[in-house]
A and B are shown apart, each in its own frame.
Chain A
Amino acid sequence: MGEKLIISIDGKACACEKGEYLLQVARRNGIFIPSLCNHEGLEGLGACRLCIVEVTRGGRTQTVVSCIYPVEAEIEVQTQTNSIVEQRSVIVALLARLAPQSQTIAQMAKFMGADLPRLAERPGGDKCILCGLCVVACEQVGTGAIAKVNRGVEKEIATPYHRPSAECIGCTACANVCPTGQIEYQQDEQGVTIWGRYFDYVACAACGKQFATAAAWEFSALSSASEAASVGVGADAGADAGAGAGAGAGAIGQGRTGVVADADALPAPPLCPECQRQQVAEWLASSSGRYGNVRVAMKELAGE
């Protein structure tokens, strides 16, 4: 990483670092490449295939998916060739039949003139384009409560047995990353309903602001506590070391879920992130820098 490169995108010279993903380089240089399954906070997925471009390297041209294509050499990129435009058009036309209720897709299709009326609508099709961004978010931010179920043309996103999941913590990360707004949730003053379950909010003990569901707070507090308490408990130092690659090293992948050291040892009353930062800063200042490690400091705060 770090080696500076100049690549050409649609004739424009663009500076980048070796290893950067092509989509990011293009966007930074004001070149628009459409995408659906791409979210800033998450690794590139390469599922919707809308961000395809043509890359020429060493005399060879191939079609690549720019959100997951790392720039390794000084390549020439074309984002609007006739082939690419046609292929994107077919992809959007296919998505329009998969997700007939999605306004996002309908608008895209209209803009691109992508319409293949001969194609059949998926029975029961809604807004979901089956990109799986929600699942990635759930693995990274949440608990892995939702997953991509079945395979092939039967694929869908669901909780186990299509029932409200005991693992869901109501964090709504899934709904926030969804490109078409398929995942809905209803909020009121006390809590939120999502994936068929109601979650109470918890209020900050310091400022009184409702900042998360109680379930989400417990989950993240427990995770930090057990992580601080023991490195590698339940995690697989050996074989799963590399499991972090790919779809994110979520709490689940490293076995934290199953190894709550002591369910009663919850930290002190809930604090919203701002108040938490404030408290830690004050405490660190008062301890004259005795502890260099914030996590160890958190343990102390929790009274362990």
Chain B
Amino acid sequence: MSERTTVCGTPPTAFGAATAVTPRRCLLVCCGTGCRANNAMGLADALEAAARDAGLDVTVSSDAPQIKRTGCNGFCENGPIVKVHPDDISYYKVKPEDAEPIIASLGNEPVARLLYRGEMRQRLTRQIDNPFYAHQQKLALRNIGEIDPLVIADYVAAGGYQALKKALQMSSEQIVEEVIASGLRGRGGAGFPTGIKWQTAAGYPAKPKYVICNGDEGDPGAFMDRSILEGDPHSVIEGLTIAALAIQAEQGFLYIRDEYGLALSNIAAAIAVAEADGYLGDDICGSGRKLRLEIVRGGGAFVCGESTALMASIEGRVGEPRAKYVRSAEKGLWGQPTVLNNVETLANIPYIILNGGAEFAKIGTAGSTGTKVFSLVGKVNRTGLIEVPMGASLRHMIYDIGGGIKRDRPFKAVQTGGPSGGCIPEGQLDLAVDFDTLDAEGAMMGSGGMIVMDEHDCMVEVARYYVKLLAEESCGKCTPCREGLRQMLGILTDITEGRGQVGDIELLERICATMTAASLCALGKTAANPVLSTIRHFRDEYQAHIRDRSCPAGVCPALTVYVIDAEKCTSCGACSRACPVGIVSGEKKVPYSIQSEKCIACGSCRDACRFDAVIAMRKEEVA
């Protein structure tokens, strides 16, 4: 039996792709969508200008530092991030004004104030010292933040397209064997064994056949696919091309959310360059094999992330799924054998082909091999994208990597798998996360979203939020899903607004059971998960809303007003400044007060207060 790596903390295998690209000094500036929102492009311009001013012009001297605009480093709340290579210095929250000091510091002491502060308040220079990165094992994300996604030479220097060249020498069966041996399971949500999918499609003789990349990442809280498409588009192209070789397809599609503007332009540019360099087109690397890739923009429909709905959309129809009694591998796009894979799944393929499936299978757990990219967001101190081996525990992710809950509040639940997933409470923090353990919890891996919640989050409101999303996103074709969601939304809205009735919980459970058994597609079948898991773990919260018309978390506006605890109030005035409707007032040395009858229960005052002096109360009590 091969050794399995289940514990994080083993040395990450793929940091330092930048080292493979070039030995000379580079400033790697994170220019993913998140950092661009914080003027990362302006920062990169400023660094270039500062370098020129310092006489370190890249056009003049080949020793001058290169300034590369890379994809997302994952640590988004602390961006824009600048990494100095090969010195291995990472700067966070960098502004254009910092450009000059950074240039001046090259080869000297780093700019201390821009370094990350550790738990003991010490300054950390290396990326690996940062606890956010220390435990990660980057495979799918191996190149992101290390290369310029628009420069194919970077990708090639980092080992790119070697797997494709190797695959061209392999037979279809050999390629499929490696992927089966790897144990890779779909990273988009369903977790279907990728190798089996490819093998099935390869076995049908009908031509033409198609490969499709599913870039319609719709789970709220998930942005790993966006990150990969922006930051390392060639890895997806390479994975998709290998899939095409395996099943003998000559046409492929990348279906990408229309909202992902940067991802769309980067993948389009990458395809053009790959074609120009012979990695796509009519004669791939001189082998005579062919593949043409086409980009299709999503139309703004979450359901199009479902594979058969996605195919309908490519065909120019509305995104209605179809029953899967006949698998897409046999009859998919336009009735032809089709393989559809998620972005992250494809990004793993080059590693598997190059190193062998057995190497990949050494990582993770027996049933869920490899790594997984999670987006850790919500009430944690360190939020962003993390890649860890399957089998890492929730506690490890949330506390070791995520740095624990903001403001040290107690952990309440983590929501995994988006609208198809469920909530996992405190008692399960040691759960080793993989496809099967999450399924067993009624939670589901989904695309890897992990939304951390604390005591100020209302679980009934969370259920209502997901049901509302699904009610609008459901294609509407089948009765159980459409009508089940319609009615559940009505009931949950009633509950959060104080009109819940005895028997509502049991009715929700009944509707959920029918939806799960009788819906047409995975959207309807898994829609019950957020409702059932919150009922299962937080039934008392539902009952408080129904019986007492009270929201224990202090969130539901119809049931809540805020008051100030006079004994704890220090008269700092933070609450008053935060209040958007101007109903909080007070003066020095006198406790502040809220005009409760005008309170909209937005929670801004409670969030602003550092002394826990703002208390949520049951509206009916404070009449």
Contact = CB atoms under 8 A, between A and B. Distances in A.
Interface string A128-144: 01101000000000000
Interface string A191-213: 00000000000000000000000
A119 B503 CA distance: 12
Interface in B488-520: 489-491, 501, 503-504, 507, 510-511, 513-514, 517-520
A98 B485 CA distance: 12
A168 B394 CA distance: 58
Contacts of A244: 335
A123 to B, nearest CB: 11
Contacts of A240: 334
B514 A150 contact: no
Nearest to B470: A152
A87 B512 CA distance: 10
Contacts of B335: 242, 244-245
B514 A153 contact: no
A155 B303 CA distance: 14
B475 interface: yes
Contacts of A86: 510, 513-514
Contact of A153 (B301, B482, B501, B510): B482
A245 to B, nearest CB: 4
Interface string A80-121: 000100110011001101100000000000000000101110
A52 B483 contact: no
Nearest to A69: B325
Majority-rule SS of A interface residues: mixed
A97 B507 CA distance: 15
B123 interface: no
Interface string A223-256: 0000000000000000111111110000000000
A148 interface: yes
A94 B519 CA distance: 13
Interface in A46-93: 46-50, 52, 63-65, 68-70, 83, 86-87, 90-91
Contacts of A65: 323, 518, 520
A162 interface: no
A243 B504 CA distance: 44
Contact of A241 (B334, B489, B514, B520): B334
A118 B507 contact: yes
B325 A153 contact: no
Contacts of B474: 151-153
Given A118-B491, A242-B334, A243-B315, A152 B485 contact: yes
By size class, the interface of chain A is 35 or more
Contact of B510 (A46, A50, A90, A155): A90
A281 B333 CA distance: 42
Contacts of B501: 118
Contacts of A154: 472, 476
Contact of A120 (B301, B323, B490): B490
B325 A68 contact: yes
Contacts of B334: 239-243, 245
Given A64-B325, A94-B484, A148-B476, A153 B517 contact: no
Nearest to B312: A246
Nearest to A90: B514
B167 interface: no
Given A47-B477, A153-B474, A239-B334, A148 B318 contact: yes
Contacts of B1: none
A48 B476 CA distance: 11
A122 interface: yes
Contact of B476 (A46, A87, A95, A155): A155
Contact of A129 (B318, B472, B479, B486): B479
A129 B480 CA distance: 12
Residue from A49, A65, A129, A245 with most neighbouring chain B CB atoms (10 Å): A49
Given A118-B504, A246-B322, A155 B482 contact: yes
Contact of A87 (B473, B475, B503, B517): B517
B478 interface: yes
A94 B504 contact: no
A67 to B, nearest CB: 10
B25 interface: no
Nearest to A147: B318
A49 B333 CA distance: 25
Nearest to B489: A153
A73 to B, nearest CB: 12
B480 A91 contact: yes
Contacts of B472: 151-154
Nearest to B484: A94
Given A68-B325, A120-B490, A152-B473, A95 B503 contact: no
Nearest to A22: B325
A241 B315 CA distance: 11
A46 B479 CA distance: 10
Contacts of A130: 476, 479, 482
B471 interface: yes
A141 B478 CA distance: 23
A244 B303 CA distance: 23
Contacts of B511: 90, 94
Contacts of B489: 153
B381 interface: no
Contacts of B473: 151-152
Contacts of A46: 322-323, 478, 520
A152 B479 contact: no
Interface in B415-472: 470-472
Interface in A161-202: none
B487 A97 contact: yes
Given A116-B507, A118-B504, A243-B334, A151 B479 contact: no
Contacts of B503: 118
Interface string A246-272: 100000000000000000000000000
B479 A153 contact: no
B326 interface: yes
B504 to A, nearest CB: 7
B570 interface: no
A54 to B, nearest CB: 9
Nearest to A246: B322
Nearest to A118: B507
B19 interface: no
B326 A152 contact: no
Interface in B281-306: 301, 303
Interface of B: 301, 303, 312, 315, 318, 322-323, 325-326, 331, 333-336, 470-480, 482-487, 489-491, 501, 503-504, 507, 510-511, 513-514, 517-520
23 contacts: A47-B477, A49-B478, A49-B518, A49-B520, A63-B518, A87-B514, A87-B517, A87-B518, A94-B480, A94-B487, A95-B479, A130-B482, A150-B476, A151-B301, A151-B473, A151-B476, A152-B471, A153-B471, A153-B474, A154-B476, A243-B315, A246-B312, A246-B322
Given A98-B486, A118-B503, A153-B482, 18 more contacts: A46-B322, A46-B323, A46-B520, A48-B478, A48-B479, A49-B518, A86-B513, A87-B514, A95-B479, A119-B487, A122-B486, A130-B482, A132-B477, A151-B301, A153-B472, A155-B476, A240-B334, A246-B312
**Lowest 5 A-B CB distances belong to which pairs?**
A242-B334, A155-B476, A242-B335, A94-B483, A90-B514
